[in-house]
Amino acid sequence: MLQDHDGNLVEGMPAPSQSTDLESGPPSVGTPREAEMPAEPESYAVATPRREGVIARIEVLETESKAVSLRRRRAGEQLVTQGDILRDVEFVEDVFEDGDGLLHVPRIRFPHVIVLTQACDLEHGTCLLSVLVAPLHNAEHLFNGAHLGELGLPAERIKKDGTRGRNIAQNSEPRFHYLRFPDGVQLPDLIIDFRQYCSLNVDYLTGVKSTRLAWTVPPLWRDHISQRFAAFLARIGLPQPTPPADLARMREALEWPRRASRHTDKV
């Protein structure tokens, strides 16, 4: 069962069987593959998203409009798929020109992202323009409120041993998904914040997969992530709580026709 924006239980796809024991936490997201994954550089395990910038002269850029290149999968190329966890991924945040004719391209470099686009769309969708991904945050950084520090964005501290921290660790908090990896996978505990997602170019991700793939979440668990992500986006949330006085007026307005009908004189 999942919760909506107001914390009410809603119907949904049953989650994979998992323990609620706080000592064991959520189950691992898979078992090690036969082909060993590349070793995870220690720097990525402790890094947080950060901004970088590229500046270029407008004059050196080709301004002629061209159709988007939608190439087919090349022979032997490893196609990006749902559940892939990639390290050191760049996201172009903005493109703007300053008064001196310089083009600025600020980028955010994520230590890890997970691919959310459905596997069937990636395998058969020859006209996909982009892939939906979500940043993966180091669990300790998120609990400490430091995971967005280098981006200059405020983040609340969450007590890891408090009620909300335990709910996040057990995947009972609709906004977050906690990933704990099996032995042999050199990744720290990571958390998806379903409020944070972006799209990246298909060719870019396919091109870097061979050198930046850290792990691929097995089908059962990737489907669980997909279902929880969809449920979070589908929730109906109000921008702010309705004041009690307004609720009372709304109830009174709904009750008035019924009260009036009881006092109507019969002809």
Please report the DSSP string for 141-188 in residue order: HHHHT-TTGGGT-------TTSHHHHHHHTT-STTEEEE-PPTT----
Q: Of all helices (H) and strands (E), which one includes residue 138?
A: strand 130-138
Q: What is the CATH number of the domain that holds 146?
A: 2.30.30.110
Instruction: Tell whether 67 is covered by a domain.
Output: no
Q: Is residue 21 part of a domain?
A: yes
The answer to the question of residue 105 being in a domain is: yes
Domain with 6 in it:
2-59+74-261
Residue 64 lies in a domain: no
Q: 140-176: buried (b, 16+ CB within 10 Å) or exposed (e) per residue?
A: ebbbeeebbeeeeeebeebeeeeeebbbbbbbbbbbb
Domain assignment of residue 68, yes or no: no
pLDDT (tens digit per residue) in 98-146 = 888 888 899 999 999 999 999 999 888 667 889 999 999 999 999 999 9
Q: What is the pLDDT of residues 27-67, one digit of tens each?
A: 455 444 434 455 556 566 667 888 777 665 544 444 343 33
Confirm whether 65 is domain-assigned. Answer: no
Distance CA 205, CA 91 (A): 11
pLDDT tens digits along 142-195: 999 999 988 888 899 999 999 999 999 999 999 999 999 999 999 999 999 999
Within a domain: 266: no
* Beta bridge partner(s), residue 3: 9
Residue 19: the pLDDT is: 39
pLDDT value at position 47?
78
The answer to whether residues 215 and 209 touch, using CB atoms and an 8 Å cutoff, is no
Question: In the prediction, which pLDDT does 69 show?
Answer: 41
Q: Is residue 69 part of a domain?
A: no
| C-alpha span between 187 and 170 (Å, rounded) | 18
Q: What is the pLDDT of residue 254?
A: 74
Place of tokens 């980028």: 107
Split into its structural domains, the chain has a count of 1
d(CA 217, CA 26): 14
| pLDDT (0 to 100) of residue 16 | 43
215-231 per-position pLDDT tens digit: 999 999 999 999 999 99
